Amino acid sequence: MVVKRNINKRAFTLIEILVALAVLSMIVLMMSMSFQQSADAWTTASHRAGMDIMARGVVGRIEMDLMQAVPALNYTTNNATLKQTFTGNEISFLRLKAGTQSQRELRRVTYRATSAGLVTRVERLLTYNNGWQEGSVVSSENMNELGTTFEDFEFRFPPGNWDYNLPPSVDVFSRVAYQGRFAHFEALSFGPHGQNSAEKGYIYVGGGK
């Protein structure tokens, strides 16, 4: 005798499969959006960190040069005193290269901000022959990293005539731009030996701490 068993096997319907696929697609889409947002946030933070590092590098270089600055009033050439330049987009001053007494060469350092968003640094050696003469260019460099520009770059200092004496402080303001992203930075100086400005900052002029 053969016994027949009625086994009721129920499979998924087409509608259930479509609903499951739709739910799975939504989950995958939400996860991919979350990953994309995280990647964008990481990229933005990385760019800002890079711009901040570059800005600090430029400010640090300016600070190092200004700490070695000496007043042009003490140096003459052809019966005339060497002059300095302190304007909103350019500073040009004399500095004594750090080192031993025999290595302390007198040099002119010039920082210039152009309308194209570039900041350049040029350094010339000065030699003495019955007066100080500006000689060959020791170094000339572009302070911008590849693809980065400084917009609205500006030097600020107290009012006065700084053709021969050093200003008590030099502040730097700018906006760094890279691939459509912007970051503002500023460096407010103490002045000589950190004693002048009421606002704490980074740059020291003519011998800092």
- Which pLDDT tens digit goes with each residue over 130-176? 888 888 899 999 888 767 788 888 898 888 898 988 888 888 888 88
Q: Judge whether 20 lies within some domain.
A: no
Q: Is the pTM of this model over 0.75?
A: no
Find tokens 């460096």 and name the residue.
187
Tell me which residue range forms the domain holding 56: 45-194
Cα 208 to Cα 103: distance, rounded to the nearest angstrom: 21
Report the number of distinct structural domains present in the chain. 1
Q: Using one digit for the tens of pLDDT, what is the confidence trace for 81-119?
A: 788 999 999 999 999 887 665 667 899 999 999 888 889
User: What's the half-sphere exposure (Cβ side, CA atoms, 13 Å) at 98?
Assistant: 7
Could you tell me if residue 108 is inside a domain? yes
Instruction: Please provide residue 21's backbone torsions phi and psi, each rounded to the nearest 5 degrees.
Output: -65, -40
